[in-house]
Structure 1
Amino acid sequence: MKKVEIGELFKSLERLGFDQNEIFSTQTIKIIQRDWKEIVGDFFGDQSYPAELKENRLIVMCKHSLISQEMEFQKMAILQKLTDKKLPTNISKIVLKTGIVPNSKRTSS
């Protein structure tokens, strides 16, 4: 198998219509979703879900407004844990919203 430099790979993907930032954002949100309970703990992991990443802002859906309020106090600690993970995309802000949280039967594999 031919060895490909990362720059060549991204140039090829761009020619196919893929955007490097979009690829990094997609991978970042998948990693965060996979590791969410490790990042916020079991209780908040069951009550919230990292829904999307937009312009370096992590949008987190919370089952109830009380959960949003409690997590508001933990934003800085969560941001630090995300920074420590050395994700493909830097996250500068967490936005908490109340809404539908998918079933929490996610694994951390």
Structure 2
Amino acid sequence: MDPLAGPVLVTIDYRIDAARGAEFAAVMEATRQARLRLGTRQWHLLRDSAHPSRFVECFMDENWTEHQRRLQRFTVADTKLRIQRMSFHVGGEPPLVRRLIGQGTPSP
């Protein structure tokens, strides 16, 4: 992987109990703050209009090197937040994580 390849868009699909949506959103706000502190450039939480139990977290790192560095910056508090976030996920499989690498010339 080219270290400067990017941007890197990460999406994480969570399945949660729809009745706990507001509680999950509060934990995800803390997640947003942590991701931005660690260097993420953009962050969004989306809820599937057709499936209210599906949330998709999307965030963007500048390039592959910054993506790898962000992972190395995790603190004990970040790990605790991850455990808290994952406690909402239901189902037999872990949340689906995708890492998409930008291709071509970026838009202005």
Which entry has the higher C-alpha Rg, 1 or 2? 1
Q: Which has the higher contact order (CA 8 A, sep 6+)?
A: 2
- After TM superposition, the score normalised by the length of structure 2 is 0.37
Please state which structure has a larger fraction of its residues in strand. Answer: 2
Please state which structure has a larger fraction of its residues in helix. Answer: 1
